[in-house]
Chain A
Amino acid sequence: MSAELLRIRGLVVAFDAFHAIDGLDLSLHEHEVRFVIGPNGAGKTTLIDAITHLVRVTSGSIVFAGQELVGQSEHAIVRTGIGRTFQKPSVFDELTVLENVDIAAAFRQPFRALLRRRKGVSEEVAAAMDSVNLTAHADARAGALSHGQKQWLEVAMVLVQRPRLLLLDEPVAGMTQSERLQTGELVTRIAQEGTTVLVVEHDMDFVRRFAHRVTVMHEGKILTEGSVADVQRNETVREVYLGRPRDARGAAEVPA
């Protein structure tokens, strides 16, 4: 088995009395593709937010490649080699597609280098745009792209940074069927090239088609882990998805 890349122990994220993540343990190994599923409010997005410090961790530890992430600032966490996307595609509308990818690519350059004008298009920027089929739109304003294209642009921006761990938050939400297929293939390819990927996804069809290992979250905890077939056979998972809560708390609705 390959080395452990991400190790989360006893993670708690509390918003006042509500525990969005309630004592979660999770390990990711190098070169793994892990899908995280779960009903609304299970804490899937909060998990990504906690890893990247978009929300404050109440207690617990997140160790990535030997470094403790809890307490580090957002940009420092990105610099350790973690990239993420957002549920709502967030690209810079006023900049062109090329400029969006270019500033993402330049994040490790010394500040002085940023002051100069961009000369041409670097190979990795071109490759990143190509991998998401946006080369033809390089000079279009990102604001003019379709929803699916914006999501791809965001993927290109994170790919060009060559993260060791990629966190994708519902990458196919709002995409057409063919866009979904292409995205799935892209995720598979990224993983084959050596990036560890964690995908939070709602779309069970997409999960069935592209997932190998699946983690099911429920009420801020890990419910079970296994192959797609294992998970689908699991009685508790079915109960959770069919909305028959096993305890009094029920499936609390949390804003994503």
Chain B
Amino acid sequence: MSAVAKLLPGGVPRPSAFVVRFGLVAVSLLLVAPAVLSDFRLSLLAKFLCFAILAIGIGLAWGQGGMLVLGQGLFFGLGGYCMGMHMKLAEAPAGQLPDFMTWSGVEQLPLLWEPFRSAWFAVPAAIVVPMALAALLGYAIFRQRVRGAYFAILQQALAGAFVIVLVGNQGLTGGTNGLTNFQSFFGLSVSHPADQKILYLIVASVLLIVFLGTRELVLGRYGRLLVAVRDDEDRVRFLGYDPTRIKVVAYVLAAGLAGLAGALFVPVVGIISPALLGIVPSIEMVIWVALGGRTALAWAAAGAVIVNWAKTSISEQYPSTWLYLQGLLFVLVILFLPKGIAGAVEHIRGYAGRLALLRTRRRRIGGPGAATASPSEEVA
């Protein structure tokens, strides 16, 4: 930060630490990564950034709002299928059905698919459908004051039921295989490297915008209220607020972000299938956020990228070890780093700060400032 400050001429207001950090991340994602990563790695990163969008939603609902959303696979899937259905229809030859329908003996396009011909319907639907469902569910759940473990188990059940419905309706959803064999996305070829790079840039930009928007919300009055509800829901009632409404909003936004992530995931990865959405994947999504740090949105997003990057690199070398390692990591984080990597960084910073303080104290030992310097500086 000080280096940047020195570059600026006098009189120009110094950018805040946040602006500098955000700028660095934005430059790395939008300029550096496309320049240095291979096509293969870049499209992997695009996939991880989709997960990061979803993780920001979990950071909002769980980290800020205390709702353990253990079934985000449901909303991720809804977004993914909305987008997938549109892409399938868009690339099916005129007058023909999507390929998997023909294989399952479906002869007429199911009514549910009809509106997804239009991108104007499908793209908003990928976000609005998960949000609408979350609004209905959330209102019913939170009004009944269902919370804690009961809420988490309910989320799991929803994700599980969703997968059963998907698998059971082969002709409508592609069953276990899901929707795959995509060729193009709004004129972009999903397999051509140059087009993949554009897709990557779209995902990275969406992530940055989503992060900024969610951060604004968290720093606003609503964000403070959400934390208040997390820490003492009943107390908030006696301030004249209905916690149901406050919680529903965060839950719905998290669902919308999961849907958005799912919609971007389909063109980036080229598949959406029940195996990506069930109970176990939904738990994994929460693990990313737990590892990164649930109370800091940026770290929640980073957690998704770091865990998935580790998963890919380790699985490439030792194919069968990742699952054990992930379990071990999760246990270690719960035991020693309840605030995730964010907590560890905070800790190290605090330690470094105290070290620096000690050093300055030693230098001016006996000096007048030595004794009075402590309280405020240690906090900083």
Report which A residues bind B (CB closer than 8 A).
52, 54, 73-75, 78-79, 84, 86, 90, 92-95, 99, 102-104, 106-108, 111, 113-118, 157, 161
Contact = CB atoms under 8 A, between A and B. Distances in A.
Nearest to B216: A117
A106 B241 CA distance: 10
Contacts of A157: 239
Given A90-B232, A92-B232, A75 B221 contact: no
A116 B238 CA distance: 23
B240 A161 contact: yes
A122 to B, nearest CB: 11
Contacts of B217: 115
B165 to A, nearest CB: 34
A71 B228 CA distance: 25
A99 B206 CA distance: 31
B228 A114 contact: no
Contacts of A102: 221, 224
Interface in B220-271: 220-222, 224-225, 227-228, 231-232, 234-235, 237-242, 245
Given A114-B220, A116-B220, A116-B221, A73 B231 contact: no
Given A95-B227, A95-B228, A117-B216, A75 B241 contact: yes
A222 B373 CA distance: 58
Contacts of A103: 221, 224-225, 228, 239
A74 B227 CA distance: 19
Interface in B74-97: none
A92 B221 contact: no
B380 interface: no
A157 B227 CA distance: 16
Contacts, number: 68
* 10 nearest CB pairs, A to B: A78-B240, A107-B240, A74-B237, A117-B220, A114-B222, A92-B228, A114-B221, A75-B242, A99-B224, A90-B235
Contacts of A111: 245
Contacts of B24: none
Nearest to B230: A94
B221 A108 contact: no
A79 B240 contact: yes
Q: Most chain-B CB neighbours within 10 Å: which of A75, A107, A113, A157?
A: A75
Nearest to B220: A117
Contacts of A99: 224
Nearest to A96: B224
Contacts of A79: 240
Contacts of B237: 73-75, 78
Interface string B310-334: 0000000000000000000000000
Contacts of B228: 92, 95, 103
Contacts of A116: 220-221
Contacts of A107: 239-241
Interface string B328-356: 00000000000000000000000000000
B225 to A, nearest CB: 5
A106 B221 contact: yes
Contacts of B220: 114-118
Contacts of B240: 75, 78-79, 107-108, 161
A113 B221 CA distance: 8
B3 interface: no
Given A92-B231, A117-B219, A74 B224 contact: no
Contacts of B245: 111
Contacts of B242: 73, 75
Contacts of A113: 221
Given A117-B220, A118-B220, A104 B239 contact: yes
Given A92-B232, A115-B220, A74 B238 contact: yes
Contacts of B232: 90, 92
A178 B216 CA distance: 42
Contacts of A92: 227-228, 231-232, 235
B216 A52 contact: no
A233 to B, nearest CB: 37
